[in-house]
Structure 1
Amino acid sequence: MEQAALALYSERGFEQTTVADIAQRAGLAERTYFRHFTDKREVLFGGAGILQTVLEREVANAPTSAPPIETVAAALERIEIFSPEWRETSRQRQQIIAANPELQERELLKLASLSAALTRVLKSRGVPETAAVFAADAGMTMFKVAFERWTAPANQQTFPQLIRTALEEFRVVIAGLEQGEKRSEEQSG
């Protein structure tokens, strides 16, 4: 059904495609479609539940000595669904989402839901709430940046490599903030 939806969305556009069209292209009854998805948007986000389960498990099973942001980054690196075989399908999916504000909104809701789930797991491991929120939100930002790079036409890096790069770039930003804070303190003191 996902492949049928992607093909139709690419050919006709999201707005012009109906659930009946998707079901027909997939060779299924419309009722069968609705057993799996609530509407025509959800076919593009069907993997969100699996992704959340994987991330929650990876964070829950990480060594307790690891800093929260490292724990989240390591969990993101271990996502196996972002393999080279899925890159072209993911590119096509992202193009469809980028062309439709309704789908962009759904994508942001998915990321917020993943962040909330990671926050809960981090807190259950004893991470203070603010640190858990910062680590989860930063993790989802790294995920977003890495995913956009992974689906870029010229990219040849793996998803784990791109997560590691995003983490390093995040560290540079934090270091810059800390340096700016020190300079500010020296100037006022």
Structure 2
Amino acid sequence: MARWKPGTAERLQAAALELFATRGYERTTATEIAQSVGLTERTFFRHFSDKREVLFHGQHPLAQAFLDGVRAAPPDASALDTVARALRSGASYFPAERRPQARMRQAVIDENPALQERELRKMADLGATLADTLRARGVADLAATVAARTAVAVFGIAFTRWVGDGEQRSFEDIVAEVYRELLTLAGGAAQL
């Protein structure tokens, strides 16, 4: 018999999100999260370093999805074409069935300044990783930094729209719309 049942981390995440949404992040403890799914606090801490990490556990797969998009770009692709592929690949990480959970998670984050800060840090880390990967492909430092940070901004705007009340479009469609708007703005920009 297995010592831990498969899916324990996912069960803890679902329980935590529900408790955070109903009781509030600050008023929910790791012990309460664990007990709500019949586990111990010790089991909780085998999976997560603290209750905040329950909300940010998926950042490595998301970064991997972005990097997979970069790796799929042809070697001669421009920095913007490469990050467009990264955005498309990252968008695939958010199928329609994840939207209700993403909306609930975002509502919890929006109510807590410390979680908002952690979310910003996550996005900054994603931008840094993306820029490093672009540099490794031979993209110049400034171009890699601008392209990566632009991609993160496009992603963030698209995500906010995707989790918005009443939004039904796919994440891929929203990312494409925001990216097209970026290109339109850049094409009509005046020189400094």
Structure 1 and Structure 2 fold alike (TM over 0.5): yes
Please tell me whether residue 43 in structure 1 is matched to residue 54 in structure 2.
yes
Question: Take 2:34 and 2:93, find their aligned partners in 1: how far apart are those partners?
Answer: 25
Task: State the match for 2:172 in structure 1.
Answer: 160
Q: Which moved more, 1:29-38 or 1:100-109?
A: 29-38
Question: Take 1:28 and 1:50, find their aligned partners in 2: how far apart are those partners?
Answer: 26
Task: State the match for 2:8 in structure 1.
Answer: none
How far is the alpha carbon of 1:172 from its aligned partner? 2.2
Q: Which moved more, 1:163-172 or 1:101-110?
A: 163-172
**Number of aligned residue pairs:** 180
Question: Take 1:75 and 1:87, find their aligned partners in 2: how far apart are those partners?
Answer: 20
Instruction: Identify the match of residue 16 of structure 1 among 17, 27, 42.
Output: 27
Instruction: Identify the match of residue 95 of structure 2 among 64, 67, 83.
Output: 83
The gaps in structure 1 that reach 5 residues or longer are 185-189
Question: Take 2:37 and 2:66, find their aligned partners in 1: how far apart are those partners?
Answer: 30
Contact (CA 8 Å) 2:13, 2:55: kept in 1 or not? yes
Task: State the match for 1:187 in structure 2.
Answer: none
What is the CA RMSD across the aligned residues, in angstroms?
A: 1.3
How far is the alpha carbon of 1:121 from its aligned partner? 0.6
How far is the alpha carbon of 1:166 from its aligned partner? 1.0
Contact (CA 8 Å) 2:68, 2:89: kept in 1 or not? no
Instruction: Identify the match of residue 71 of structure 2 among 45, 60, 65.
Output: 60
TM-score (norm 1): 0.91
1:116-152 deviation per Cα after TM superposition (whole angstroms, max 9, x unaligned)? 1001110000000100000100000000011011111
The gaps in structure 2 that reach 5 residues or longer are 1-11
Q: Which moved more, 1:37-46 or 1:164-173?
A: 164-173
Contact (CA 8 Å) 1:60, 1:122: kept in 2 or not? no
Contact (CA 8 Å) 2:83, 2:148: kept in 1 or not? yes
TM-score (norm 2): 0.89
How far is the alpha carbon of 1:33 from its aligned partner? 1.1
Question: Take 1:69 and 1:76, find their aligned partners in 2: how far apart are those partners?
Answer: 10
How far is the alpha carbon of 1:63 from its aligned partner? 0.9
SS in 1 for 2:156: helix
Please tell me whether residue 110 in structure 1 is matched to residue 122 in structure 2.
yes
**Greater RCO structure (CA 8 Å; 6+ sep):** 1
Task: State the match for 2:188 in structure 1.
Answer: 176
Question: Take 1:91 and 1:30, find their aligned partners in 2: how far apart are those partners?
Answer: 27
